[in-house]
Structure 1
Amino acid sequence: MTIPVFYSISDDFTPYAAVSLNSLVKFVSPDRDYTVTFLHQGLSKEHEAALKAYEKANLHVEFYEMDDKMLAPIQDRKENFLRGDFFTMSIFYRLFIPDLFPQYDKAVYIDSDTVLNDDIAKLYETDLGDNLLGASNDTSIQFVEKMVRYIKEVLTLDTKKYINSGMLVMNAKAFREEKFLDKFFYLLGKYHFDCIAPDQDYLNEICSGRIKYVDPKWDAMPNDNTPENPHPSLIHYNLFFKPWHFSGIQYEDYFWKNAKETVFYDQLQAELQNTSDDQRDVELHKLDRMLEKLDTTLLDPHNWARVKEAEKVTL
């Protein structure tokens, strides 16, 4: 039995993905078999080779190019902007994993801005029961007043149960049998909900009530309001806390220790050094722009809260 692990990647994100893959490889068990697949559109051959170099006897690195026709219903429009800031199709790739890979009844997805500090097989072995997902509560938003209001008043979900989609243990068999993609495309096509975190919001809503909450050590995120987890199994540099843009953030040592072992180390160091204070200020204020959506979505007659009064959105 192989342990399937998936990443979504755009070509410019390869250096960060290489850091994540480098960390993952260090903790794999010699008694298990792993297949790591990068979902992409237009990954350069040079970057493919850099990632493929991490293969070993029991860890296989593969690439899957996403099809434009399959993704066509997901349009470049403000409702689908990541963090209300820009459009990137790659955030939606994870939703297609169960249907694209029918050989797997279960799979792990992780974002590229992550670092592993434990064997990902332990995460894969999460007992999902009849739940659709295993994931962790999104701790990065618990102290952001407008985001809390968005979850409560627009999504009408419990903030303590709102999950981050950067780490998912997917019940792929249930996704296929219960036609998750059909539900997603139906809601997308009929309502095109204006979302702050598009893929994440659809997952939270459609899978609500059928989520297994995984130990938060598997999605430890830098946060100015909480202390570091002393034993993080997976670190996720979510939102704007990127160690290649900022110094002095939580968990940065884990990133740079792994980055130093990749061919991208000098490039990543240069990116940090060349990020100006003005650019950092712009990054920090992106949160404000992201949360501007609250005011419009609260009044939207077709927001999640109003639609849920009339019909069921869960599987």
Structure 2
Amino acid sequence: MIKERGGLISNETKLLNSDENPTISVVMSTCNKKKFLKNSIESILKQTFINFEFIIIDDESTDGSIELIQEYTEKDDRIIFIKNTRKMGYYHNLQLGFKIAKGKYIARMDDDDISELTRLSKQVIYLEKNKHITVLGSFVDVIGDPDMEICGKNIDDPEILSVLLNIDSFIYNSSVMIRKSFLDLHTLTYNTKYNLAEDYILWSTILLVGGKVQNYPEILIHCRMHKKNIITNKTMMLARQKMLRRFFDTDNELQEFISIYYNQDNILRLPLINIIKDLSEKNIKQKVLPQCAFDKTIDKLNGCLEPAFDKNNIPVVLATDNNYFPYLGVAIASIIKTSTTTNNYDIIVLEEDIDSYRKKQLLSLIDNYSNIKIRFINMKPLIEGQNDRAIFYLSGHFTTATYYRFFIADLLKKYEKVIYIDSDVIVLDDLANLYKVNIGDNLIAAVPDVEMIKTVSAENEGIYNTNYSSYIPNILKVTNYLKYFQAGVIIFNIKELIKENFSQKCIDKLKQIKTPIIVDQDILNAVCYEQVYLLDMKWNAVWNPFIWNNHHIRCLPIDFYNNFLIAFNKPSIIHYASVTKPWSSPERAESSYFWSVARETPFYEEIIMKNTKIFNNTQSINCEPWEIVRYITLYKKLTFKCVRNKIKYKVSFGDARRKRKMRYNEIKKQKDELKAFLRI
């Protein structure tokens, strides 16, 4: 049986050790880390699993560490304390610890890290049940420098690690538990010839002789990272080349590969996914690893997810950046508010570098919901994997996040279909009802763009002169403007999109058009034209027709006009698709949908602060308060006019373009002068 504080933890797991030997040998090397040593030692001594020896080797500390360890040694006979008479070095100490270890398993522990109290228990149970695993690390939480990262801290799959370990050490040294019998059989330990790369060469050698490496899929250790922890040395590259050489016919080919992907400091110069894709191509010829291992790795790096629930899974995807995060939080709160217990809601957020505190705020919304999960996909590898981030053309209030949906089919290839919604929406009906809509073999389902149809209809009647009526059929190749859709709410038919190589088609079309007026929405229309199922307008009831020249809404074809009014009066999703938003214009009637939900979220105060900050910056202006309010209102109107006139002149030609650009410059000048006056 496995011994644990409070009794036995398993009736099934039996140990092969004799009663005289401990199950685990924990090995620690230390030198002048008294500042952190107490917490580190206690995190081991207080483990729920108790059948271990704790080998601590001190390398001539002078800061009181020796005295501290001796105190613990007197209190706990599981500690084996070794004091070096001369400085031997970190990995030499670990070699010694491995040599004298009596346990069936060897667990590593650094002198400034902290183990979860159930770490040893969870790792030993897992290794007992999974005899094929040789090295078991764990997920890692970084303490100390918040900007430091750990390679592979959330990668657990052995096949994926077998690929990634050709590139770097994706196992954190202080988190591992190793089968001692495997080390003894193959005469393996840390190789001090590879200075500062000893752990990486040990894991890679274990792989080469047939071992398997895995990370336990929970955070079991909190590691303290400092700038000096990061190493980029020649011996690390030598160790890496030992693994990479298997994929090449000649040394020259290997060196050419390294020169492409690594700089002179041995740091990757291109995104990790690029080098993995290249190695995957070489593996087809060399057959070093099963090709499925590369496929899984590429999916993982692309952020590919499995459905969160086995049945009644309603996948919903949103995209955000840091600026829009609180509004995304309100949108998700509205999804939760309209959810039902008979369905499971699989919410996926596409983002880049949203900090952990904000994610915890969002996750707090589902504390009491077992049928709702929220997961995050960092889009940076995919976006930067395009080599030139500048291809993602932006205008007006749009950010790169709007292009994330290009990659949904690749990210969620395990799904049948998914719902995408913008972050500036409020959901008023159960999204399960939208998900159940049968869209056949169409690529996507979406709502016709009322604003665009109104604009083109008005242009056809001579009211506008925007040239959208030329741009849409001639540039986008959408020959029937009545089928141009609004991209704020979309059902993606994943299987059909994969067949069409959708993501690549979007990128190719973007490179061709270069400066789409309504950015990704134009590209989606161009790629999906004639393969779109048109949804009931209630699923994307946009409020901008009543903001942008609302008296022209009657230019809509009569059936569109009537359907839009019905949808707008009883929407299933209200979409604030305009530069004017409910958080900046709470006086608008439709803003109440937003604020009624926002008040119940942890983002409410932030939203208030963001939208009152402009007033705080004007306190020292020598004006009456009512005048400041009037100026701020004027500034918002000018901002809106700037965006509108910029779009107008960009879709115009000849003399009309010249006049509209002059008008745009006049308005922008007024706006900039007012901005300077208001100090915002």
Q: TM-score range by the shorter chain?
A: 0.7 to 0.9
The aligned amino acid for 2:639 is: E
The aligned amino acid for 2:334 is: S
Is structure 2 residue 386 aligned with structure 1 residue 64?
A: no
3-state SS of 1:280 partner: helix
For 2:441, the equivalent position in structure 1 comes to: 130
For 2:491, the equivalent position in structure 1 comes to: 169
1:273 deviation in Å? Answer: 4.0
Quickly say closer, same or farther: Cα 1:177–1:250, change in 2 above 3 A.
farther
* Correspondences of 1:72-151 after superposition (within 5 Å): 72-73=385-386, 75=388, 77=390, 80-81=393-394, 84-85=395-396, 88-144=399-455, 145=464, 146=466, 148-149=468-469, 150-151=471-472
Computed over aligned residues only, the root mean square deviation of the Cα atoms, in angstroms, reads: 2.3
Could you tell which deviates more after superposition, 249-258 or 29-38? 249-258
Q: 8 Å contact 1:142–1:148 — kept in the other structure?
A: no
Q: 8 Å contact 1:132–1:207 — kept in the other structure?
A: yes
2:652 equivalent among 291, 295, 302: 295
For 2:112, the equivalent position in structure 1 comes to: none
3-state SS of 2:415 partner: coil
Deviations 1:198-236, CA, capped at 9 Å, x for gaps: 211111011100100001111011121355722110011
Deviations 1:75-103, CA, capped at 9 Å, x for gaps: 5558711xx33662211111111111121
Q: 8 Å contact 2:317–2:347 — kept in the other structure?
A: yes
Could you tell which deviates more after superposition, 56-65 or 176-185? 176-185
For 2:364, the equivalent position in structure 1 comes to: 53
Q: 8 Å contact 2:417–2:491 — kept in the other structure?
A: yes
Could you tell which deviates more after superposition, 148-157 or 286-295? 148-157
Q: 8 Å contact 2:409–2:502 — kept in the other structure?
A: no
The aligned amino acid for 1:196 is: I
3-state SS of 1:194 partner: coil
Distance across 2 between alignment mates of 1:295 and 1:135: 28
Q: Between the two proteins, what is the percent identity of the paired residues?
A: 28
1:172 deviation in Å? Answer: 0.7
Q: 8 Å contact 1:133–1:170 — kept in the other structure?
A: yes
Quickly say closer, same or farther: Cα 1:53–1:93, change in 2 above 3 A.
same
Quickly say closer, same or farther: Cα 1:3–1:208, change in 2 above 3 A.
same
Deviations 1:137-167, CA, capped at 9 Å, x for gaps: 1113333342743334543422221111111
3-state SS of 1:166 partner: strand
The aligned amino acid for 2:517 is: I
For 2:308, the equivalent position in structure 1 comes to: none
Distance across 1 between alignment mates of 2:599 and 2:333: 10
For 2:537, the equivalent position in structure 1 comes to: 216
Q: 8 Å contact 1:246–1:280 — kept in the other structure?
A: no
Could you tell which deviates more after superposition, 121-130 or 264-273? 264-273
The aligned amino acid for 2:442 is: N
Distance across 1 between alignment mates of 2:388 and 2:518: 15
3-state SS of 2:515 partner: coil
The aligned amino acid for 2:378 is: E
Q: 8 Å contact 2:397–2:579 — kept in the other structure?
A: no
Quickly say closer, same or farther: Cα 1:87–1:26, change in 2 above 3 A.
closer
Q: Show structure 1 runs of 5+ residues with no match.
A: 298-315
Quickly say closer, same or farther: Cα 1:25–1:160, change in 2 above 3 A.
same
1:284 equivalent among 615, 630, 640: 640
The aligned amino acid for 1:180 is: F
Distance across 1 between alignment mates of 2:585 and 2:541: 17
Deviations 1:236-258, CA, capped at 9 Å, x for gaps: 11121301112333521100101
Q: Show structure 2 runs of 5+ residues with no match.
A: 1-310, 456-463, 554-564, 615-631, 655-680
Could you tell which deviates more after superposition, 175-184 or 160-169? 175-184
Is structure 2 residue 3 aligned with structure 1 residue 3?
A: no
2:600 equivalent among 255, 261, 269: 261
1:241 equivalent among 571, 580, 598: 580
For 2:516, the equivalent position in structure 1 comes to: 195
Q: 8 Å contact 2:541–2:573 — kept in the other structure?
A: yes
Rg larger in 1 or in 2? 2
Could you tell which deviates more after superposition, 268-277 or 103-112? 268-277
Is structure 2 residue 568 aligned with structure 1 residue 229?
A: yes
* Correspondences of 1:18-33 after superposition (within 5 Å): 18-33=329-344
The aligned amino acid for 2:523 is: Y
1:291 deviation in Å? Answer: 2.5
For 2:505, the equivalent position in structure 1 comes to: 183
Distance across 2 between alignment mates of 1:69 and 1:167: 22
Quickly say closer, same or farther: Cα 1:251–1:188, change in 2 above 3 A.
same
Q: What is the TM-score normalised by the length of structure 1?
A: 0.86
Distance across 2 between alignment mates of 1:243 and 1:124: 27
3-state SS of 1:53 partner: helix
Quickly say closer, same or farther: Cα 1:279–1:48, change in 2 above 3 A.
farther
Could you tell which deviates more after superposition, 90-99 or 258-267? 258-267
The aligned amino acid for 1:63 is: F
The aligned amino acid for 1:203 is: L
Q: 8 Å contact 1:79–1:192 — kept in the other structure?
A: no
For 2:276, the equivalent position in structure 1 comes to: none
3-state SS of 1:10 partner: coil
Distance across 2 between alignment mates of 1:74 and 1:243: 37
1:289 deviation in Å? Answer: 1.1
Distance across 2 between alignment mates of 1:210 and 1:95: 16
Distance across 2 between alignment mates of 1:37 and 1:164: 21
Name the count of aligned residue pairs.
Answer: 294
For 1:159, the equivalent position in structure 2 comes to: 481
Q: What is the TM-score normalised by the length of structure 2?
A: 0.41
